[in-house]
Structure 1
Amino acid sequence: MEIKKVAELGGHRSGIYKISKGPGESNVITLGGDGQVVEWDLKEPKNGILRAKSDYKFFTGCYSPAVDACFAGDMNGSLYRLFFDPEKGEPKAWKTHEKGTFCIVDLGEILISGGGDGTLTLWKTDPFFPLETRTIAGDRIRSLVLDEKRELLYAGSSDGNIYLVEPNKLKVVDVCEDAHKSTVFSLLLTGSDILISGGRDAMIHFWKLPEMNLEHAIPAHLFTVNDLALSPCGNWFASAGRDKEVRIWNSRTGKLLRVIDRLKDEGHINSVNSIFWDTQSGLLCTAGDDRMVKIWQIN
């Protein structure tokens, strides 16, 4: 496996907590502790565009094609709707969580957010307002992923559990208890009836669906596994670690294929907080506490 760094992007004034798909075929967005939302074009990545600025740290965010807007969650527990085209409307925010909004999943006409108080909120995207908020856990909800095949939402919590939730009712139908020894920071569906989770315990776990049977338990990083991303071909996935490394794995066997580190590859010098694997270009985008976005070509 050959890995080449094709770009290194700066501009944020604090750590970057989220990188995800943006508007257009080749665009991504980043959200950071400086309260900035920045849009980047992977075809011409050197010049980022500042799209929004807040007084609060942004912990998470996503672009919703259904309404052509960015939704961003902050440390105050609010969710913002931000139009990149000012003519479409002013920014709007609602606060439904306490202790921060940490994760969002986009379902088109609705969104679901997870908060630091163990709650989920169901949102209408246009017009933008909260429909319902329910407590599902006794600790923070740190990760969400939607299983369209089974019409289930998986929610990872700081109590170490993974909650199986009916997305339209926010009703917990099952709990995978003690999925990790501590916080479940990241969740990923591979498309092959496998749910992959990453935790504060530095472990990656493979769960066979629908039974949620543990297939593999892999000591993955030296510290927290912050994020997971699946390659466009589906054969690999990447993990981002607090140990400053990005690791590439076989998505079926869990075999480690490659490590992207600071010394050998000029990788990140601090915690890698978020990763995004672009389906159009095949480029892997990574972002972290060093305030940098790094873009990698993987062959």
Structure 2
Amino acid sequence: MSKIQVNKLHTLTGHNDCIYALTEGSDPRFFYTGAGDGMVVEWDLDHPKDGKLIAKLPHSVYALVVDRERNLLVIGHNFEGIHVIDLNENKEIWSLKLTDQAIFDLKVFGTELFVGTGDGVLIIVDMLEKSIKKHIKLSSKSIRVIAVAPIKRQLALGLSDHSIKVLDLANESQPIANLSGHSNSVFALGYSPDEKTLISGARDAHLKFWNTINYSLEENIVAHMYAINYLSYREDGKYLATCSMDKSIKIWDVENRKLLKVIDKARNAGHGTSINKVLWSSYSGNIVSVSDDRTISIWQLETDNK
């Protein structure tokens, strides 16, 4: 088993409330955070201490996504809709009133933006037309997380009704798979880079590995003490990071489905409260985590077999 050394490089402060949203920029040297204080901040991994305020909104921000093709940052503004920031100019260029619900996740594929809402509606927005294309009612419970498989052209959604629904992007109206097995809300979801595996994590603290050929369950691991809030793959798909309400980050060997490392307060001066999002940077290979404790941590991981 590979040995992993962890070094905490930075603790970044500036938000005045729990940090809920985290996404990588078109230029992965930059990443963006959004919080309960309505602030959206840009951070530079080369100069991490200098956060730059991008937007200040009246309600919490749970979701952010970068439209890499057009270099736009889309902000999910709770109880309102979306705000779109041109990252070349660092200014808002348009917004759209979408919902009076919370917006829990956003994903972009091609010219479409997928918006997961608190009332179980998937809203599809045309990024070129700046208009709503479609509403798809999937559940009476919240859509908490969205994952895109660009090669398979499929969309997986984790819901608070404990299910994972998979849609075909050629025809989104009817799920092609409805995965059950979690006993609570599904918060974490991600396709492996080769799209052969879909991994889910939930409030039940279980991590599940699904084979995407027929969406059969291959493995179930009791992975954390409390809810798994998010997951992020290393760019090569070899390792996976999960973060939890139990205040820890765990590093997993994806192929062997084995726990390799625990990063927490006792061992590594980690976060003091729930860790809400984790991002494995494709720029630096470091891990970025955000927490209810209002801080951002940057972690350097060294493995003996890279």
Could you say which TM-score interval applies, normalised by the shorter chain?
over 0.9
> In the alignment, is the contact (CA less than 8 A) between 1:12 and 1:36 conserved in 2?
yes
2:249 is equivalent to residue 258 of structure 1: no
AA partner of residue 54 (structure 2): R
Runs of 4+ in 1 over 6 A off after TM superposition: none
| Aligned-pair CA distance for 1:67 | 2.1
Match among 11, 16, 20 for residue 13 of structure 1: 16
Q: Which residue pairs with 1:26 in the alignment?
A: 29
| Aligned-pair CA distance for 1:91 | 4.5
AA partner of residue 102 (structure 1): F
Distance in 2 (CA, whole Å) between partners of 1:23 and 1:231 is 17
2:153 is equivalent to residue 156 of structure 1: no
Match among 159, 165, 170 for residue 172 of structure 2: 170
Which TM-score applies when normalising by structure 2?
A: 0.93
Unaligned runs of 5+ in 1: none
Distance in 2 (CA, whole Å) between partners of 1:46 and 1:23 is 20
State which drifts further: 175-184 or 289-298.
Answer: 175-184
Q: CA RMSD in A?
A: 1.6
**How many pairs align?**
298
> In the alignment, is the contact (CA less than 8 A) between 2:141 and 2:159 conserved in 1?
yes
| Aligned-pair CA distance for 1:231 | 0.9
| Aligned-pair CA distance for 1:77 | 4.7
Offset from partner CA, 1:8-50 (integer Å, 9 cap, x none): 1000010111111124241000011110110000011011000
2:56 is equivalent to residue 53 of structure 1: yes
AA partner of residue 4 (structure 1): N
| Aligned-pair CA distance for 1:93 | 2.5
> In the alignment, is the contact (CA less than 8 A) between 1:163 and 1:172 conserved in 2?
no
Q: Which residue pairs with 1:99 in the alignment?
A: 101
State which drifts further: 14-23 or 219-228.
Answer: 14-23
Q: Which residue pairs with 1:116 in the alignment?
A: 118
Q: Which residue pairs with 1:186 in the alignment?
A: 188
Between the aligned residues of both structures, percent identity stands at 29
Q: Which residue pairs with 1:129 in the alignment?
A: 131
| Aligned-pair CA distance for 1:234 | 1.6
Q: Which residue pairs with 1:36 in the alignment?
A: 39
Q: Which residue pairs with 1:270 in the alignment?
A: 273
State which drifts further: 53-62 or 71-80.
Answer: 71-80
Distance in 1 (CA, whole Å) between partners of 2:50 and 2:142 is 35
AA partner of residue 281 (structure 1): S
Distance in 1 (CA, whole Å) between partners of 2:226 and 2:8 is 24
Match among 227, 244, 247 for residue 244 of structure 1: 247
State which drifts further: 268-277 or 94-103.
Answer: 94-103
Distance in 2 (CA, whole Å) between partners of 1:82 and 1:257 is 38
| Aligned-pair CA distance for 1:95 | 2.9
Which TM-score applies when normalising by structure 1?
A: 0.95
AA partner of residue 61 (structure 1): L
AA partner of residue 43 (structure 1): D
AA partner of residue 293 (structure 1): I
Offset from partner CA, 1:172-217 (integer Å, 9 cap, x none): 2333342311111011111341100000101100001121111111
Distance in 2 (CA, whole Å) between partners of 1:170 and 1:117 is 18
Q: Which residue pairs with 2:86 in the alignment?
A: 83
AA partner of residue 67 (structure 2): S
Relative to 1, partners in 2 of residues 1:44 and 1:157: Cα closer, same or farther, differing over 3 Å?
same
Relative to 1, partners in 2 of residues 1:58 and 1:240: Cα closer, same or farther, differing over 3 Å?
same
AA partner of residue 183 (structure 2): K
Unaligned runs of 5+ in 2: none
AA partner of residue 284 (structure 1): I
AA partner of residue 271 (structure 1): S
Distance in 1 (CA, whole Å) between partners of 2:206 and 2:281 is 25
